[in-house]
Amino acid sequence: MTTETMEAPAVAVPTATPPHPLREFWGYFSANHGAVAGLVIIVAVVLVALLAPVIAPHDPNLTNTAIALQPPFWQAGGSISYPLGTDPIGRDILSRLIYGAQLSLLIGIAVVTLSIVIGTVLGLVAGFFRGLTEIFIMRLMDIVLTLPSLLLAIVIVAVLGPGLMNAMLAVALVILPHYVRLARAAVITETSKDYVMAARVSGAGTTRLMFKEVLPNCTAPLIVQASLGISTAILDAAALGFLGLGAQPPSPEWGTMLADAREFVLRAWWVVTFPGLAILVTVLAFNLLGDGLRDALDPKLKR
Amino acid sequence: MKKSALFAAICVPAFLAAAPLAAKTLVYCSEGSPENFYPGINTTGTSFDVNEHIYDNIVDFERGGTQVVPGLAEKWDISADGTVYTFHLRKNAKFHSNKNFKPTRNLNADDVLFMFERQWKEENPYFKVTSPNHSYFTDMGMPKLLKSVEKVDDYTVRVTLNQPEAPFLSNLAMQFAGVQSKEYADAMLKAGTPEKIDQEPIGSGPFYLVQYQKDAIVRFKAFPEYWGGKAKIDDLVFSITPDASVRWAKLQKGECHVMPYPNPADLEAMKKDPNVTVMEQPGLNVGYLAYQTTKKPFDDVRVRKAFNMAMNKKAIVDAVFLGSGIPAKNPIPPSMWSYNDSVKEDEYNPEAAKKLLAEAGYPNGLETDLWAMPVQRPYNPNARRIAELMQADLAKIGVKAEIKSFEWGEYRKRAQAGEHQMAQLGWTGDNGDPDNFLHTLLGCASAQSASGSNIAKWCYKPFDDLVTKAKVVTNQAERTKLYEEAQKIFKEQAPWFTVAHAVQLKPVRKEVVDFKLSPFGRHTFYGVDIKGK
Amino acid sequence: MLRFIFTRVSLIIPTFIGITLLAFFLIRLVPGDPIETLAGERGIDPARHEQLRKEYGFDQPILVQYGIYLSRVLQGDLGKSMITQEPVLNEFSSLFPATIELALCAILFALIIGLPAGIIAAIRRNSIFDHGVMGVSLAGYSMPIFWWGLILILLFSVQFDLTPVSGRIDVLYYIEPITGFLLIDTLLSDEVDAFWSAVQHLILPTIVLGTVPLAVIARMTRSAMLEVLGEDYIRTAKAKGLSRFRIVALHALRNALIPVVTVIGLQIGVLFTGAILTETIFSWPGVGKWLIDAIFRRDYPVLQGGALLLGVVVMSVNLLVDLAYGLINPRIRHTR
């Protein structure tokens, strides 16, 4: 309640030369070194993913048992043509990591898009219609939240069968409640504001109200949540892969690579170290970006 | 120690915790928790390994072999027609005791009858206790085979069969036929807690159970009154460690003495470790890739042959088994009698394979599926990885193979129904007879049944005639000849790409004395000793 | 306040029923059944399979099965595991202490490091320490913990031989379970060496499971502290010339702790997810590993019962947190 009463006058008072909102956003965002670093890493990962066929030194699925488990180039026995070493059946780890970037980005973006779309719609519906619809949707989300998310994801994958697609669906489902709650809360806050009242009085339909008036006003928290959500999605999908339920080999998904090579952990440290590092760095980058976005978009912190 | 006095005062049961154990403790890093303590309903080797130490059988397999030797029965007579077995039980077999039960008598015929009837007769009050699924008893055909089991006197039991069955004694030596105490069962039934006998077991075996904590530990102590003499070790501990690499790390550090199922990846290091001996023995198993011979394109023997030549078996076995398996050319393992070593292996030759494939009408290659089990099996440590290597090899002759997998139960069912084009599977023998492989896995009878084990669906008259004949002939030399011939036909017709025979490997620490590998893959610690540090 | 408690508690009932529904039907959608899964290469004769399904009651209409299940659950009977034939409740209660012990240690670890780090970072805002803490904690938050566990084993157990590889305690110690918490049981039975062994076994799993909560707590503490430090009463305190330590310790910390405690409470679901992975890596005999095994073996009763029990635990903790929060912060009570 308090925040709203404070915001209203802030909007009402026009500043002398209002800066373009994007420029203002960039000003805040670029001041945050972490966020910029995150953005740079993400851009790099995206480039790597897009250019994979060009920059990968080898075919990621090309097996050659003669060179199995070669260490990275700086260790004795390693060679520069396989800079990060090879896996148990002689595939180049670097090339697999490069192609794996495609998968991880795909997972992150697909999962988040899916759960944002479904979650927002459900949240908007719950927030607008209240009553039984709301109770039903929100109870369902409570149930999903009550069970350990990984457990639920595992069961869903067990039902659908292991595989990248199904793992993505499972992850999208278990992170859904966050978006539903966010959207609903935003709707409830927004609908009590004057402009919605005004629109309603002037006869705007519910659907129109939902998507034209309210939705644009709760995009900021959704964007932040999306960027953080990508990191959760990548992590969860990798965990499923690690348990043998995500993308199936020979797909170079990072979690799957880890699981596939786990038995060699005592003998060849590089087969588990690099895929894990790749996950860590990518997830970290998305988290940094998410943090930066939140700070830049959240009016409360701008003070 | 003031503190300790305080704790002792607070906590009366403190004395329950024993002092650090005596020197002769053997720790076995087992791969999982036992299902429960009733071998009659167990299905996994993990459970049998535990229960084997608690219970005795009427007859046993000799330690480290397949020969049947006396157990609870000191001797037995078999009628001339092979249908009546009379077992003479030893009189000095004592039962363990626990807090609920003190035995008043030694093991006798009543207990042996109880063992049979509990698994056999539905009216037995214990038939459904814990579980009605006495799977091994049923799988071994006991319900159909047994005519009667009678008590002649306290220490004599007579078993009558419906027809002669040579492997009957061997079957009784399997762990599902472990003898429980009838007296204990009666007492628990009266107390209204019949399932206790399967949770707090009383047996007559060389060790008794002290503690079981799921997923953590099974602790035994040597039974001093064991009829065969007290075990050489005092304490036997199963430290449950599901992860193979972790088992190895623990063995290395001396946290356990024996471990099963090592990671092939760690073998090299194991063989180098001065404190560890890696014992090995070829197992009674085979892993293979079956072609669905009733479906195109594999109904053509030329295609099957071409595929066999296209895949680099040695490279595959080296990369995946890493020394824990030997390439297979025959469907039966080399340690089995009648193994035909003169059979010529298909040579790896992609060029010739390509030509043969063109001859068969596929000059531009073809597309097929390639099934891989979702789970690790004794004969195949990583079906998925094998499939990847096969896929890569096949691509070189223009074949596009799509790797497929299903949930394990589903996988087997679908493969048995013949839904695949190419599917990996394997077999572990139970009784060491070639019939168990050649007839069960490749005969016409099992090809025609929707739940038969012949997943190549391969029914080839000349082969089937040989193996069916060998089933009824009793002369082993004659059987050997038939089986050798059958293996030759198998190779010519190529219903399978035989992959490998897994080798049983057991890393054992040097202080362990006289541990013997069992051809059945059992882990028995009676008779094993351990040197003090 | 009563009304608030009442609404919160009444929300639990539909969630509870929902969990039973979800667990019951979801697991039955998984292809394969336990009888099939156990059969191995040999397979099982279809007629016998049918007979066994009947024994287990799988032949009845699914809604009838659910009705029977629910009525038994309400009587406190969660059924028997299909693999071990042991009552689900017994298995749960023998494994749950291991999970709780690990979870509590992880939370404790996270608090001991996370709280001070967050506080200092807030006080020294924008210092190198602050940036360091925030960077490290974000890395912790981004950590794939299954990988983290493997790397720690590789480093500390294998390379430097400092910690045991897995398990809860050296198997040579025989500790009769009294409470199920080994740290307590070993002391109760006066086994100091065993206690140390249990502690050593706990170190790596605690770090692995505690990493994410540590990151969350450090970040949360920092931002809560920053907010509180900017409030008027702190400025007043400063103006009054109170020492910096007193301001932080007496005034700021107390108020900053409220959201931190809430976050810890709400982390419990996340903690169980982490426990599943941590227990898998360290062969820790807890409920996480048990549930995963149950899924792979199609052990319906275990999965249904386990999900339900875990759900109840999570709900209870959330409820307690909510109630506590409602007590501390009256505003929450009224906005709902």
Asked if residue B12 has pLDDT above 70, the reply is: no
Residue C255, pLDDT score:
76
Report the range of poorest mean pLDDT among A2-16, B446-460, C61-75: A2-16
Asked if residue B244 has pLDDT above 50, the reply is: yes
Chain C residues inside the 8 Å CB shell of B410: 31-32, 36
Write down the ipTM of this complex: 0.84
Q: Which of A148, A269, A284 sits opposite C142 (nearest CB)?
A: A284
Tens digits of per-residue pLDDT, C266-298? Answer: 777 788 888 988 998 888 889 988 988 888 888
Residue C329, pLDDT score:
62
Residue A301 pLDDT level (bands cut at 50, 70, 90): very low
Residue A299 pLDDT level (bands cut at 50, 70, 90): low
Nearest one of B205, B217, B378 to B287, comparing CA atoms: B378
CB-CB under 8 Å, A62 with B265: no
Task: Give me A28's structure tokens.
Answer: 């805040």
Residue A3, pLDDT score:
35
Structural domains of chain B, with CATH: 33-216 (3.90.76.10), 285-504 (3.10.105.10)
User: C189 or C132: whose pLDDT is higher?
Assistant: C132
Among A181-195, A200-214, C109-123, top mean pLDDT goes to C109-123
What residues of chain A, 42 to 71, have a C-beta less than 8 Å from chain B?
61-63, 65, 68
A236: left (phi over 0), alpha (psi -120 to 50) or beta: alpha
Residue A235 pLDDT level (bands cut at 50, 70, 90): very high
Nearest Cα residue in chain C from B446: C42
Mean pLDDT of C1-29: 82
Residue B533 pLDDT level (bands cut at 50, 70, 90): low
User: A200 or B256: whose pLDDT is higher?
Assistant: B256
Asked if residue A181 has pLDDT above 90, the reply is: no
CB-CB under 8 Å, C15 with A146: yes
Chain C residues inside the 8 Å CB shell of B250: 165-166
Residue B279 pLDDT level (bands cut at 50, 70, 90): very high
Q: Where are the domains of chain A?
A: 27-59+71-297
Contact A116, A218 (CB under 8 A): no
Residue A11, pLDDT score:
40
Summary count for chain C: helices (H), strands (E): 16, 0
Q: In CATH terms, is domain C96-289+310-333 a member of 1.10.3720.10?
A: yes
Contact A122, A137 (CB under 8 A): yes
Chain C nearest C-alpha distance from A149 (Å)? 6
Residue A4, pLDDT score:
36
CB-CB under 8 Å, A89 with B374: no
Share of chain B above pLDDT 90, in %: 60
Nearest Cα residue in chain A from C159: A266
Residue B154, pLDDT score:
95
Residues 6+ apart with CB under 8 A from B35: B41, B42, B43, B44, B46, B47, C83, C84, C85
Residue B455 pLDDT level (bands cut at 50, 70, 90): very high
Nearest Cα residue in chain C from A243: C277
Share of chain B above pLDDT 70, in %: 94
Q: Where are the domains of chain C?
A: 96-289+310-333
Nearest Cα residue in chain B from C159: B249
**Cβ of residue C172 closer than 8 Å to a chain B Cβ:** yes
Asked if residue B11 has pLDDT above 80, the reply is: no
Asked if residue B6 has pLDDT above 60, the reply is: no
Residue B168, pLDDT score:
85
CB-CB under 8 Å, A151 with C273: yes
Among A30-44, A202-216, A218-232, top mean pLDDT goes to A30-44
Asked if residue B13 has pLDDT above 90, the reply is: no
Chain A residues inside the 8 Å CB shell of B316: 65
- How deeply is C336 buried, as exposed, middle or buried, from its count of CB atoms within 10 A (0-12, 13-18, 19+)? exposed
Asked if residue A201 has pLDDT above 60, the reply is: yes
**Cβ of residue C174 closer than 8 Å to a chain B Cβ:** yes
User: C161 or B122: whose pLDDT is higher?
Assistant: B122
User: A128 or B198: whose pLDDT is higher?
Assistant: B198
Mean pLDDT of C235-248: 75
Report the range of poorest mean pLDDT among B368-382, B509-523, C117-131, C231-245: C231-245
Asked if residue B19 has pLDDT above 50, the reply is: no
Residue B218, pLDDT score:
94
Mean pLDDT of B262-269: 84
Cβ–Cβ pairs < 8 A, chains A and C? 124
Nearest Cα residue in chain A from C319: A146
Contact B434, B338 (CB under 8 A): yes
Average pLDDT, chain B: 88
Q: In CATH terms, is domain A27-59+71-297 a member of 3.30.750.24?
A: no
Residue A16, pLDDT score:
55
Q: Which of C35, C36, C173 sits opposite B20 (nearest CB)?
A: C173
- How deeply is A33 buried, as exposed, middle or buried, from its count of CB atoms within 10 A (0-12, 13-18, 19+)? exposed
Average pLDDT, chain C: 84
The CA distance from C89 to C78, in Å, is: 6
Average pLDDT, chain A: 83
Contact B407, B530 (CB under 8 A): no
Asked if residue B15 has pLDDT above 80, the reply is: no
